Amino acid sequence: MKLVLDAGGKRQYLFHSELVVSKDSDFFVAGPAVGAPMAVMTMEKLIALGADSVILYGWCGAVSKDFGVGDLLLGGTAHCGEGTSRYYINKDVCEPSAGLVGAVLASFDVSVASPVWTTDAVYRESRRMLEQLADKYGVCGVDMEYSALCAVAAFRKIDFAGLFLVSDELWQKEWHAGFAGKEFKQKSRKVIQLLIEKIPSFAAVRER
């Protein structure tokens, strides 16, 4: 928010979250919106206000040993473990927008889009459950919003992609959390800054 405000952006009313519109009104930044229901409420409002392309930036837990704290993970197939997406789609998986995913892929240090599982109940995850998701579906990350937003985007026919910074490692024998570290927070700020800088190239992509 601060980066956009410092560049001349203006705050706009969004009763359950925050919304800042850029100086030239060509993009916006909204949030926070933790959990699928709140994130969907935010997205629906933004779509009603005219949004036709949304990039989610968030943190995720790594299920795969290929990802460690501070790594970037670009969302691929969304596996719906939350309760909101079923009101928008009648299946357990959803795909982000290929064109927007490709644009993000070309702009960040990631080589492939990876499957993400979204849950409402992070304290009900079990090691066995996560191992099964990884083995059966190739799930690499766990979050609380991605699949629901992916479903809304498909239903409302807008473009959508999700980019995550790995905040904790769930594949370790003991849970390894890194989201409180100074380096992690600095990396997160850099990712946000780069996302904002790359918005013109993302805006050129429109599929749905």
**For the residues 62-84, what does the mean pLDDT come to?**
98
Give the CATH number of domain 32-203: 3.40.50.1580
Tokens 């003991």 found at: 174
d(CA 178, CA 184): 7
Please state whether 58 falls in left (phi above 0), alpha (psi between -120 and 50) or beta.
beta
Contacts for 125 with CB less than 8 Å, ≥ 6 apart:
119, 142, 170
What is the tens place of the pLDDT at every residue in 159-188? Answer: 999 999 999 999 998 999 999 999 999 999
Q: Where are the domains of the chain?
A: 32-203
How much of the chain, in percent, has pLDDT values that exceed 70? Answer: 99
Please state whether 157 falls in left (phi above 0), alpha (psi between -120 and 50) or beta.
left
pLDDT at 1: 85
Checking if the pLDDT of 206 tops 70, the result is no
Checking if the pLDDT of 74 tops 90, the result is yes
The neighbouring-strand residues paired with 81 are 119
Split at pLDDT 50, 70, 90, the class of 207 is low
> Across the chain, what does the average pLDDT equal?
95
The SS3 of residue 11 is strand
pLDDT at 65: 95
What is the tens place of the pLDDT at every residue in 7-34? Answer: 899 999 998 899 999 999 989 999 999 9
Tokens 């990631």 found at: 110
d(CA 42, CA 17): 7
The distance of Cα 15 from the centroid of its chain, to the nearest Å, equals 21
> Hey, what are 72's tokens?
């970037």
Checking if the pLDDT of 208 tops 70, the result is no
**For the residues 110-126, what does the mean pLDDT come to?**
95
The neighbouring-strand residues paired with 10 are 21
Type and span of the H or E element at 73: strand 72-81
